């Protein structure tokens, strides 16, 4: 199947062809035709399958007629993080270059003034995180009664971040007659309840079993001890990695991101950091440096685990085993994208084994071990038993 067979407008097809795409991904092939017909969509697909274009392209075709009014956007896309929202904005810029559409981005960490100006001018497409969207609404700066299409993206991530009450409120504020496009990589019970409440006879588009991992990713486990040993193990793995180009390294806690980042830089590695406590400009600068190759490593918390479109990442390292098994799927999905091969290496301590068991149960297969097991590891690195004296 080609994009020409999906029913998209000529303007959209021209932009797709200019971007170099000829064949839609499975989720795009399934979701775009019913979306163009105005049907509600429930899309279930693992990360990296082209979900963004699956809702961006039919929305552009639909928006070719009509104009937005001040404070009344025509379409609304909800994203869990600022980075994902900015990424969707970039997709509209790429695919909508033949359209004269006003696109507004409402995210935290940015001053209200410029965002308010775009809303007052009239937004054909409003891309927002839930908190900033409702902040604008509660201030009387935004009306949601003109929404024709509502997109809820990365719904399971919304659940993890506690946004479900906000999503329910937004769904009640937009018109009952709107079209809803709902995308999620996994379908926990709370997400299923949400779809049953707010989607009307949806077309279900499922291109892979929920919580599966891509076959292009080689997954391995490496035994290690405490944090100091893990840092040394990680450095050795990076130095010895075959076909290494770059890597995303995941930690469970924001403070560990900062500690590991400092350690890598101290040992001569080109590394950046990305976590939720950084302001928006610093987060985008760090991400851009990684995308352009100015740094080859980026240490992240789970704020970066889902949906970020960095197509050519050779390695993913789980410095910490995720405590939620679904996060493992999304973390390693940053590599092996678009048919490329990738490597995902997880550093495991004795205390992590219960989480490894949960991950293997979720993905339906065992992950191979590489290197010596726990019994063959050298003793832990010695640390001073007396705290180091400090002068004020």
Burial tier of 28 (Cβ tally within 10 Å: 0-12, 13-18, 19+):
buried
Q: What are residue 180's DSSP bridge partners?
A: 150
Helix runs in 143-278, H state only = 155-160, 164-173, 189-198, 227-240, 254-266
Q: Is 194 helix (H, G, I), strand (E, B) or coil?
A: helix
Residues 187-205 have a mean pLDDT of: 93
Give the pLDDT score at 387.
42
- Residue 119's Cβ-side half-sphere holds a number of Cα atoms within 13 Å equal to 25
Q: Taking 50 as the threshold, does the pLDDT of residue 328 lie above it?
A: yes
Q: Sign of the C-alpha dihedral, residues 206, 76, 148, 100?
A: negative
Give the pLDDT score at 211.
63
- 342's enclosing H/E stretch is strand 342-348
**Range scoring the smallest mean pLDDT among 153-162, 176-185, 286-295:** 153-162
| Residues 247 and 304 sit within 8 Å (Cβ to Cβ) | no
Give the pLDDT score at 355.
95
Give the pLDDT score at 110.
81
368 vs 343: CA distance, rounded Å: 12
1 vs 29: CA distance, rounded Å: 8
Domains of the chain are: 3-206 (3.40.50.300), 217-375 (3.40.50.300)
Give the pLDDT score at 385.
40
Q: What is the dihedral of CA 59, 280, 144, 307, to 10 degrees?
A: 40
3 vs 27: CA distance, rounded Å: 12
Q: For 99-115, write each residue's pLDDT tens digit.
A: 989 999 999 878 888 89
At 49, is the pLDDT very low, low, confident or very high (cuts 50, 70, 90)? confident
Give the pLDDT score at 388.
42
- Model pTM above 0.85: no
| Residues 343 and 335 sit within 8 Å (Cβ to Cβ) | yes
- Nearest CA-CA partner of 310 in 285, 328, 336: 336
20 vs 348: CA distance, rounded Å: 41
| Residues 141 and 71 sit within 8 Å (Cβ to Cβ) | yes
338 vs 310: CA distance, rounded Å: 10
Question: 129-152 burial, b for 16+ CB within 10 Å, e for fewer?
Answer: bbebbbbbbeeeebbbebbbbbbb
Q: For 246-292, write each residue's pLDDT tens digit.
A: 999 999 998 899 999 999 999 999 999 988 778 778 888 888 899 89
Give the pLDDT score at 216.
87
Q: For 120-137, write each residue's pLDDT tens digit.
A: 999 999 999 999 999 999
């Amino acid at each position: 199947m080609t994009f020409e067979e999906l029913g998209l407008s000529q303007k959209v097809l021209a932009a797709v062809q200019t971007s170099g795409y000829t064949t839609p991904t499975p989720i795009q092939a399934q979701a775009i035709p019913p979306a163009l017909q105005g049907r509600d969509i429930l899309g279930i697909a693992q990360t990296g399958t082209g979900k963004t274009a699956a809702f961006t392209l039919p929305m552009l075709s639909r928006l070719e007629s009509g104009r937005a009014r001040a404070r009344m956007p025509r379409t609304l896309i909800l994203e869990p993080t600022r980075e994902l929202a900015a990424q969707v904005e970039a997709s509209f810029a790429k695919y909508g270059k033949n359209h004269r559409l006003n696109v507004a981005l409402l995210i935290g960490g940015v001053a209200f003034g410029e965002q308010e100006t775009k809303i007052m001018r009239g937004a054909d497409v409003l891309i927002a995180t839930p908190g900033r969207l409702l902040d604008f609404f509660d201030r009387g700066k935004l009306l949601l009664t003109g929404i024709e299409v509502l997109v809820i993206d990365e719904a399971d991530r919304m659940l993890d971040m506690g946004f479900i009450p906000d999503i329910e409120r937004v769904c009640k504020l937009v018109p009952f007659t709107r079209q809803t496009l709902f995308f999620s990589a996994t379908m926990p019970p709370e997400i299923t309840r949400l779809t049953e409440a707010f989607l009307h006879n949806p077309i279900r588009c499922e291109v892979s079993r929920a919580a599966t991992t891509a076959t292009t990713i080689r997954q391995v486990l490496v035994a290690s001890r405490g944090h100091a040993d893990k840092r040394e193990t990680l450095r050795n793995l990076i130095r010895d990695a075959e076909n290494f180009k770059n890597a995303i390294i995941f930690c469970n806690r924001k403070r560990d991101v900062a500690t590991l980042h400092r350690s890598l830089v101290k040992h001569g590695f080109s590394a950046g950091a990305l976590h939720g406590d950084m302001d928006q400009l610093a987060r985008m600068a760090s991400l851009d440096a990684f995308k352009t190759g100015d740094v080859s490593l980026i240490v992240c918390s789970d704020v970066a685990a889902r949906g970020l479109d960095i197509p050519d990442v050779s390695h993913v390292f789980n410095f910490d085993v995720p405590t939620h098994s679904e996060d493992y799927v999304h973390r390693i999905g940053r590599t092996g994208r678009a048919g490329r091969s990738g490597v995902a290496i997880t550093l495991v301590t004795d205390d992590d084994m219960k989480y490894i068991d949960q991950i293997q149960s979720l993905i339906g297969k065992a992950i191979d071990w590489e290197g010596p097991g726990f019994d063959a590891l050298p003793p832990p690195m010695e640390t001073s038993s007396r705290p180091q004296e400090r002068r004020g």
